[in-house]
Amino acid sequence: MISNTTSVSTVTVKPQVIAAARQRTTFQKIAAEIGTLLAAPWALIAEQPGLRADGHNVAMYWDDTGEGSIEVGVQVVRRFEDTATVVCSETPGGRAAATAHYGDYSRLGSAHKAVRAWCKQNGHKLAGPFWEIYGDWDDDPSRRRTDAVYLLDEMVHDWQTDGRTIRFTWVGDAQVEAARVYALAFTPEGKMLLVGGRPGDPGFWLPGGGVEAGETPEVALARELKEEAAATLHEMRRIGFQRVDDPARGSEYHAFYWCRITLAEEFDPELDVPRHTVLPADFLDTLFWGRDDRKAAFLLARALELQAGA
């Protein structure tokens, strides 16, 4: 039987009102019960003209256990009074990871596995609720579309500086343009490169900096590594992006890369910033924001995975 799951991406979804069956179901029973449970919402829609426009059937999973936590219903255009058999509910709003599955409903598990694997790889924590949106019926199973949507618990860190709050939000492997680039760089000895530690400013930072006009992010990072640490870049892979929202400067995106480098023995930093190498086990405690922003632990874990496969 043919089935296909498209690529996973992050989306912003709005809350969507649904007419849901009052009786809930479970993971074990949904396949057998969904048709019967949907009868009540559709009967209500028939009784209330204008309640539905082109809304689709939905299965709303409120947690991972599925023990009586699954609502099934139909997307509607407005809220309504609950009845004995139908409740006014809604799917959540916010940032989500989503994919479209084409094929028989029995193969939907592949779509859910794809979303969960993609989230793990890209550092997106799942908030808990997820749902399926069933497209219009087609007699050809290969043309039946079902969207699998997972609400995300965004990786957000707020930094207070100079009387303002700068927000850093992890957005994963998004299709955005990087204003700045940073490296989780490994030496041949397996140590990781940090810069900083000047007198009066003991913090250590990831090497990197701004992307100049005419540069690609990759060219910019190679230049920054050379300037800041006399490091030669041999191999790199992008881990993902964070969005930076600064009330004083607006919003921009920063890219993070795993890199394999060598360090020149002679080092005369242009910006008078010392270089420093640490073992991966000491990375989070040495990096200035390593224990304050949970993104740091994800970046380290992902970089170590890429390093192991290099």
According to DSSP, residue 26 is labeled -
pLDDT tens digits, one per residue of 95-113: 899 999 999 999 999 999 9
d(CA 165, CA 172): 22
Q: Are 207 and 228 in contact (CB under 8 A)?
A: yes
Indicate if the pLDDT at residue 281 is higher than 60: yes
Please enumerate in sequence order all residues whose Cβ is within 8 A of that of 193, keeping only pairs 6 or more positions apart, or say none.
Answer: 183, 185, 186, 187, 207, 225, 229, 231, 261, 263, 275, 276, 277
Decide which of 3.10.290.10, 2.60.40.10, 3.90.79.10, 1.20.200.10 is the CATH code for 156-309: 3.90.79.10
Three-class SS state of 28: coil
What is the β-pairing status of strands 145-153 and 125-134?
antiparallel
What is the β-pairing status of strands 178-186 and 208-210?
antiparallel
CATH code for the structural domain at 3-153: 3.20.80.10
Indicate if the pLDDT at residue 271 is higher than 60: no
pLDDT of 35 reads: 95
Output 51 or 198, whichever has higher pLDDT: 51
Q: Are 120 and 56 in contact (CB under 8 A)?
A: no
Domain boundaries in the chain? 3-153, 156-309
Give me the helices (H) in the chain, please. Answer: 30-47, 109-122, 217-229, 280-286, 295-309
pLDDT band at 288 (very low <50, low <70, confident <90, very high): very high
pLDDT of 66 reads: 61
Please state whether the predicted TM-score (pTM) of the whole model is above 0.75. no
Q: Are 96 and 54 in contact (CB under 8 A)?
A: no
Indicate if the pLDDT at residue 1 is higher than 70: no
CB atoms within 10 A of CB 75: 19
d(CA 65, CA 82): 26
pLDDT tens digits, one per residue of 14-33: 999 999 999 999 988 999 99
pLDDT band at 88 (very low <50, low <70, confident <90, very high): very high
